Structure 1
Amino acid sequence: PRIINNICENGLFIAYSLEKNLIDGELIKEVAADLGFGVEDEEKD
């Protein structure tokens, strides 16, 4: 739970600072990478 809370909190902070109204997957991937978590892209068929 602590990890997801950190990702969400940082996502909200970044979205607010960039004046974004939508937090999308790309923003969350960026936040997770900044926190040191590897995020893999889904393969599409």
Structure 2
Amino acid sequence: MNDADVIVIWNCRHMANIEKKRMFNAVNMLLGYKQVDIVTPMEVIGFG
């Protein structure tokens, strides 16, 4: 996922929750990568 700003994921319970987002972005920052937003398809189309 080279230079992705957003990751759209179907696994809503496991991956697209606030604690997982914080954990992934903390690791990204430690490794020198930018933060990403992890969202569900419903959030992308405006129903989430």
Q: TM-score range by the shorter chain?
A: 0.3 to 0.5
Greater share of strand? 2
Relative to the length of structure 2, the TM-score reads 0.36
